[in-house]
Amino acid sequence: MRTYRRLPQFLLVLSLAGLAVPTLLAGCQAPATKEEPAQPFVFRSLNLRQKDPSGRPLWEISSPEARYDLSRRVAQARDLSGTIYAKGKPLYTITASSGTVINDGEVVQLEGPTQLVRVGPKPLVVTATRVRWYSRQERMEIDRSPRASQGDLRLTARRARFWIQQDKLELRGRPLLERSDEGTWTLALTSADWFLGTGELIGRGPVRGERRLAGSGLQTLTSPSLTGNSLRQVIDLQAPVQVLDPGRKARLDARATRLELDVERISSPHPFRAQLDQSRLSGQGFEALGGSQTLVIPQACRLQQPTDSLVANRCTWNWQTNQVTAQGSVELRRSAFQQVTRAQQLQGVATQQGQVVFSSPGSRVESQLKVPPPRRDARKQSPKAPPFGL
């Protein structure tokens, strides 16, 4: 075994397999007229390590086979694997199909399918096809197909930079934030920073999102910026938030909105306005539950339609069954006969045009309406009808 040292903190260990250089012959022999360049050494394994001032490992990288050029201090290796430590404990594992080690570890270029995995119960995985690792600066440059994922969250970009000491991944060149499930939002950002240890995510905008629906429908989303946390699977869209669905003639204007990916919930505690074809809906906050496919307006629900309007303390709307429920101090006003219906609960069904037709099966309601007076020539046959309750 041979050992070569550049600086005290670096240790390069190469196991000798054979020399690809000419051997010297004994006796007299005329010198060669042309010198052949020295061939690199071929070694059974390469092991490169660096320690901190306390003697604890900072990082290490190894390969089962390497070719080492003594004059250039460059090693070319295959099937590389390595570990990055924090306070002497493994923090990241690294694998690559091939790599080049320059100046005994000052720069390590990993090529082919390359993977960086943060050790932990919810591993965060970074993949690429080329990574340049500057060990002294504790920095990695990732410029070929960088992708980072944790749980349902996935971020891709044209290029990325990883600061090892800060545990920070910087994604640049139109990052895309998306979930692994089909039919979910894909959010395009200007840039993004992902702190891998805490899961904190900072996305700079403008944020532009797209989601394809069944039947080739397309929804779009805009927001100035977003924050989030990959460990908690939460994304917060900053105000103002707007969602457009041209196929359904729908629009949502909201303030700060939260996406909880693990429970499929979108919510906001702030006032919002929505339009579905000819109907307008507003309230104090909303909650869309993907599991039950239900929209909940917990306070100050108001529905305005061409022929009537409704106010209630709370509303729910199941967009799969089109069932609508209004609860608490419900008041429905119809333009026909100026009818007013009051109840503690009303049921309704949404039509394809977005209008809701209400009824009250089995519920106690009170209705008032105004009947226009009969014509003078018909007063004797049709006495005036007073308002009545249902």
> Phi then psi for 361, rounded to 5 degrees?
-65, 125
Per mean pLDDT, which range of 11-15, 93-97, 259-263 is the poorest? Answer: 11-15
Contact 78, 67 (CB under 8 A): no
Contact 233, 262 (CB under 8 A): yes
Q: What is the DSSP letter of 316?
A: E
Q: Is 8 exposed, middle or buried (0-12, 13-18, 19+ CB in 10 A)?
A: exposed
pTM, two decimals, is 0.80
- How far apart are the C-alpha atoms of 81 and 193, rounded to whole Å? 26
Instruction: Give the list of residues 6+ apart from residue 53 with CB closer than 8 angstroms, or none.
Output: none
pLDDT of residue 118: 94
pLDDT of residue 65: 87
Q: Give residue 322's pLDDT band: very low, low, confident or very high (50, 70, 90).
A: confident
More confident residue, 43 or 267: 267
R_g (Cα) of the chain, nearest Å? 34
Contact 160, 142 (CB under 8 A): yes
More confident residue, 10 or 165: 165
| Own/partner long-range contacts of 213-222 (Cβ < 8 Å, ≥24 apart) | 213/183, 213/245, 213/247, 214/183, 215/247, 217/245, 217/247, 217/248, 218/245, 218/246, 218/247, 219/243, 219/244, 219/245, 220/244, 221/185, 221/187
pLDDT, tens digit, 9 for 90 and up, residues 57-109: 999 999 998 888 888 888 899 999 999 999 899 999 999 999 998 987 889 99
Sign of the dihedral defined by the CA atoms of residues 19, 109, 6, 166, in that order: negative
At 15, which amino acid appears?
S
Mean pLDDT taken over the chain: 83
Question: Between vectors from CA 371 to CA 369 and to CA 372, what angle results, nearest 5°?
Answer: 140
pLDDT of residue 22: 34
Q: Give residue 372's pLDDT band: very low, low, confident or very high (50, 70, 90).
A: low
pLDDT of residue 126: 96
* C-alpha separations of 257 from 166, 181, 287, 319 in Å: 29, 20, 10, 20
Per mean pLDDT, which range of 61-75, 130-144, 310-324 is the poorest? Answer: 61-75
Q: Which of 297, 284, 225, 237 is nearest to 261 (CA)?
A: 237
Q: Give residue 332's pLDDT band: very low, low, confident or very high (50, 70, 90).
A: very high
Most confident region among 111-115, 119-123, 346-350 by mean pLDDT: 111-115
pLDDT of residue 39: 60
SS3 383: coil
Q: What is the mean pLDDT of residues 382-390?
A: 34
pLDDT of residue 274: 92
- How far apart are the C-alpha atoms of 43 and 78, rounded to whole Å? 12
pLDDT at 379 exceeding the cut of 60: no
- How far apart are the C-alpha atoms of 52 and 272, rounded to whole Å? 55
